[in-house]
Amino acid sequence: MPSGSEATRRAGGVLRLAALLAGAGLLLSFPALAPNPYILSAGITVLNYAVLSTAWSLVGGFTGYISLGHGALLGLGAYGTGLLITKAGLPSFVALAAAAAIVALLAVPVGFAALRVRGASFVIVSIALVLILLLVFQSWASFTGGSRGLVVPRPFPDLTRPEHHRVFFFLFAGLLAAALATWWAIDRSRFGLGLRAIREDEDKAQALGTPTFAFKLAVFVVSAAFTALGGGLYALWFGDLDPVFQFSVLTGAYMVLMALLGGVRHLFGPLLGALIVGWALEWFKLQYGDTPLHLVATGLLLGVVVMFMPDGVIPALSGLLARFRPGEASIREVTAAELPASQARGPRA
């Protein structure tokens, strides 16, 4: 017969699975529930933010390296996809995969340079990468379109606007599922254990034999690939690229904000942060138009979270729920049947 704590864990697992299935069902039914194409397009924007913040958390959440330069990877994925379609004549989704592969390859030398520094130096290097690429893509007008932008042909030209949105909603949902599955797999692997050791104390992890630089570089490349896929899929959906928007430090800051808001060390933390911040951004833009006031409102939201929920929403809610759970005694009787199992499990961290 299972012990009380084991039964509680099983019940918690069942509840988490039920919540996951309910959330997935609600997500997949959103296109049918959306009252108009604008709401559906806002949902796609939020899904894109969720993909990007989850991709960012592969680096920021596991290693603790705060990158504001993921906007550069996003822009490279978007422009790479658009240019491979318009200049090389590749089919839309072949161009998307090729652009993501190219960005992942480019992330290797970029990672070699950027990941050798830590803390504020790493943040500065990541910002510099965004600004350099912004200048390059603005100035190289004959190839990138410059400030005029780049128009990317639709992959499904025969679809109406609502049908176009509906198809891309499911494409973004599939990409988000792949990013979450990758996060989950890393979290439960020895690779993830090494990354968490880097986050807690990189020098000690290296002294204990963890190949810290190789681990950081590998997860940076994986993060870059997912960020590029998010940017490329956005290019196929939106169809109009502007270097000022695509290569934006602000976009990287949004990724950080969303991941930290939800809980950067939790699987669904970046997704929850994207839901809150993404919808808040859309609402603020409707209220204040294109004025900078929506940035002020977003900053105030961040300030409230940092003051009252510094570890994110999910840890705060988990701590609140833990107060209402019956606590276990620190010493209890262990039956002869339970003893071998407890010894096999070993001490908990």
The whole-number average pLDDT for the span 45-73 is 93
Read off the pLDDT of residues 280-300 as tens digits, 9 standing for 90 and up. 888 887 777 666 777 777 777
The whole-angstrom separation of Cα 75 and Cα 79 is 6
Residue 64 reports pLDDT greater than 50: yes
Helices 70-86 and 92-114, axial angle in degrees (round to 10): 150
Confidence of residue 168 (pLDDT cuts 50, 70, 90): very high
The whole-number average pLDDT for the span 314-333 is 57
Read off the pLDDT of residues 171-219 as tens digits, 9 standing for 90 and up. 999 999 999 999 999 999 999 999 999 999 999 999 989 999 999 999 9
Rg of the chain taking only CA atoms, in angstroms: 22
Read off the pLDDT of residues 226-269 as tens digits, 9 standing for 90 and up. 999 999 999 999 999 999 989 988 888 889 889 888 888 888 99
Residue 301 reports pLDDT greater than 80: no
Residue 71 reports pLDDT greater than 80: yes
The pLDDT of residue 264: 86
The whole-number average pLDDT for the span 35-53 is 93
- Residue 207 contacts by C-beta under 8 Å, 6 or more apart in sequence? none
The pLDDT of residue 330: 37
Residue 341 reports pLDDT greater than 60: no
Rounded to 5°, the CA angle 79-75-275 comes to 125
CB atoms < 10 A from the CB of 335, how many? 9
The pLDDT of residue 282: 82
The pLDDT of residue 127: 92
Question: What average pLDDT is seen over the chain?
Answer: 85
Residue 335 reports pLDDT greater than 50: no
Q: Tell me the H-state helices in the chain.
A: 4-33, 37-63, 70-86, 92-114, 119-139, 141-144, 161-187, 190-207, 212-238, 243-246, 249-262, 269-288, 293-308, 313-322, 338-345
**Better-scored residue on pLDDT, 9 or 187:** 187
One DSSP character per residue, 78-147 reads: HHHHHHHHHTT---HHHHHHHHHHHHHHHHHHHHHHHTTS-HHHHHHHHHHHHHHHHHHHHH-HHHH-GG
The pLDDT of residue 4: 56
The pLDDT of residue 307: 76
Q: Which of 127, 147, 123 is nearest to 137 (CA)?
A: 147
The pLDDT of residue 343: 45
Confidence of residue 334 (pLDDT cuts 50, 70, 90): very low
